[in-house]
Amino acid sequence: MRRRLVLLGVAALLALLSAVAVVAYARGADRRAVEGKKGTWVLLATATIPSGTTGAQIRSKRLVRQVLMPAETVPSGALTKLDSALDLRKLNADLAPDQMLLSRQFEVAVKPTASPAPTFKVPADRLAVSVQLGVAPQVAGNVKRGDRVAVFLTTPKQDTDSNPQKTSVLLPKVTVLSVGESTEPAQAPVVVQKSGAAAVMSSAVPSPSVGSTEQLIRYVVTLAVTAEQAEELVNGYNRGLLHLGLLGAKATVTATPTVVESGAAG
């Protein structure tokens, strides 16, 4: 019995020495391959690595191994290690076994963008509705967040005298939530029919001369409105021309009879 234990112990020791010898030989082979030359450690795939695998997954699953190679044979961009900078980056193509890992095989890391913070807070009982206006209809650009404004609607003149151009109070008093200013290249004059909302819009904003580099300023005004007011505002915006009236501290506007353009048939 004792002899058997001794034999088992000797066998285990020989197995351990054999494993150490194999590892030493492998490392020695790497070093002999670069004997007399400058060596560089590179990473080789241990198995097929599919496209889309992240650097973190490659490292955690140990899908690569380090190999010492002559520096003169190593291409530019060869990776010597997988650091945390590659954790979120993904392979852009499959890697075959023993294929060298290069930095260009990983997609460029894109940092997750945070959702933009809201530029205004909508009152609990209101809707936020935006309309785009020119400079003059926006009180020469003087309307700002928190102002109270009245909204006027001008509907275009129809083909018959029985439907003249009309202006009326659309919303007597609403609060401005935000005003965004933007510019856009001026466009050459566009010929439109004499009737319809397009005719009113074209007459409200002067057309620049051809070849002009002038830019037109537009304002996107967001108003706090009720559901009913939202329907009126959107409908009015799409069928006529809107003007804002900036209300003073004590000013009030009430719905008045529609103002008809002078010269209309009575």
Residue 264, pLDDT above cutoff 80: no
Can you list the domains of the chain with their CATH numbers? 39-108 (3.90.1210.10), 119-185+217-255 (no CATH)
pTM over 0.85: no
Residue-wise pLDDT for 83-92, tens only, equals 888 888 899 9
Q: Which of 235, 215, 219 is nearest to 227 (CA)?
A: 235
Query: Which CA distances in Å does 180 have to 117, 177, 199, 231?
Result: 15, 10, 25, 22
Query: Which CA distances in Å does 76 have to 102, 104, 238?
Result: 8, 10, 60
Query: Which CA distances in Å does 52 have to 55, 59, 73, 92, 94?
Result: 10, 14, 28, 6, 8
Query: Which CA distances in Å does 73 have to 29, 40, 78?
Result: 16, 9, 11
Q: Tell me, what's the pLDDT at 258?
A: 53
DSSP lists the bridge partners of residue 131 as 221
Q: How far apart are CA 102 and CA 95, in angstroms?
A: 10
Residue 237, pLDDT above cutoff 70: yes
User: pLDDT grade, residue 1 (50/70/90)?
Assistant: low
| In the chain, beta strands by DSSP E | 39-45, 64-70, 127-133, 148-155, 166-185, 215-225, 241-246, 259-260
